[in-house]
Amino acid sequence: MNPPEVDRLAGSRAAVAARRARAEVKRQVSSGERSASEVLSSAMRDGSQPEATMRVSELIGSIPWLGPTRTAKIMQDLRISPSKRLGGLGVHQYQRLHEFLVRRQAPRRPMEPEGPRSRLVVLAGPTAVGKGTVAAHIREHHPEVLLSVSATTRPPRPGEIDGVNYYFLSDEQFDRMIEAGQFLEWATVHNAYRYGTPRQPIDAAITEGRSVLLEIDLQGARQVRAAFPEAMLVFLLPPTWEELVRRLVGRGTEDEDERERRLETARVELAAQEEFDAVVVNTNVEEAAREVVSLMSV
Ligand code: 5GP
């Protein structure tokens, strides 16, 4: 039997209102105003809230940088069916989802029992995300942190100073440092030049109890993770992919081939963010730098 016309109208109005309310929750999550785990908690607390009628896939999909493909993969890993709504989760599904959301938001390393201590922090992320600018801000405002100066075989750009921005080495000099075991890590970046982190200043700073920041590429970050499992790996993200492309092209210091190479590297690097302990979105340099420094005492 069909419902009377007036009930149908009221029903569709309620459905529109509920859809609007869910859209607002999604907007709050994607803008960072609300955390996804808090939305899940409120859905569990009160089944009459719009959060409870939201699909799990909608919630995960509104987290910055999780598109439909990765959302589907995450749902599969969590063993939650695509049509499931937050209010209809089983206890174990809820636990798995909650754990995933909390891990995604917070640094994955356990808290150290004894207060602040020296810490090795690696800042990586795609090309032109602004790692250098964030690192420079930290150098200027946090002199207590040692910002590692890398060695490279790339020639200096205008304005770059040997020993400040990089140690600019010849291929032979770089080879000699590798042979002498003087690098904590090194890698060929963008299939072009070699870059490496000199080990000695870092060992000295850690011994003195200073925190150290390395601004390196993904291959280097993986090597540091292997050598120093207690290092904190921070992934710097641009606010959007379009912004990243704008920054890459806008800098205008690379030719067409080099730019395409860097974009390809950026695509691969973006996919690696899951391996990192923390993700920082670089919308504002000062805030991003503050967040990175605050992770040193976690
Ligand atoms: P650029 O040539 O634009 O200064 O840097 C190119 C890339 O090399 C950046 O992604 C930067 O993070 C990376 N890089 C700089 N120093 C090091 C280093 O010591 N080791 C590794 N693995 N990468 C580095």
The answer, yes or no, to whether any atom of ligand 1 lies below 6 A from the CB of 187, is yes
- Rounded Cα–Cα distance for residues 118 and 175 (Å): 31
Longest dimension (CA), the chain: 86
pLDDT at residue number 249: 73
Q: Low-confidence residues of the chain, pLDDT below 70?
A: 1-3, 105-118, 251-252, 298
- Rounded Cα–Cα distance for residues 72 and 84 (Å): 12
pLDDT at residue number 117: 59
pLDDT at residue number 3: 65
Cβ atoms of 211 and 123 within 8 Å: the answer is no
3-class state of residue 183 by DSSP:
strand
pLDDT at residue number 14: 84
150 C-alpha to ligand 1 centroid (Å): 8
Span 93-123, pLDDT tens digits:
998 999 888 877 655 444 444 444 568 999 9
272 C-alpha to ligand 1 centroid (Å): 16
The answer, yes or no, to whether any atom of ligand 1 lies below 6 A from the CB of 231, is no
- Rounded Cα–Cα distance for residues 283 and 238 (Å): 7
Q: In ligand 1, which atom is closest to the CA atom of 131? A: 12
Q: Between the CA of residue 107 and those of 48, 208, 281, what are the distances in Å?
A: 32, 25, 14
Burial bucket for residue 111 (CB in 10 Å: 0-12, 13-18, 19+):
exposed
The answer, yes or no, to whether any atom of ligand 1 lies below 6 A from the CB of 223, is no
User: In the block, which residue shows the tokens 């493909």?
Assistant: 69
The answer, yes or no, to whether any atom of ligand 1 lies below 6 A from the CB of 53, is no
**Other Cβ atoms within 10 Å of 255 Cβ, number:** 9
Burial bucket for residue 105 (CB in 10 Å: 0-12, 13-18, 19+):
middle
Span 218-236, pLDDT tens digits:
899 999 988 888 899 999 9
Beta pairing partners, 185 = 197
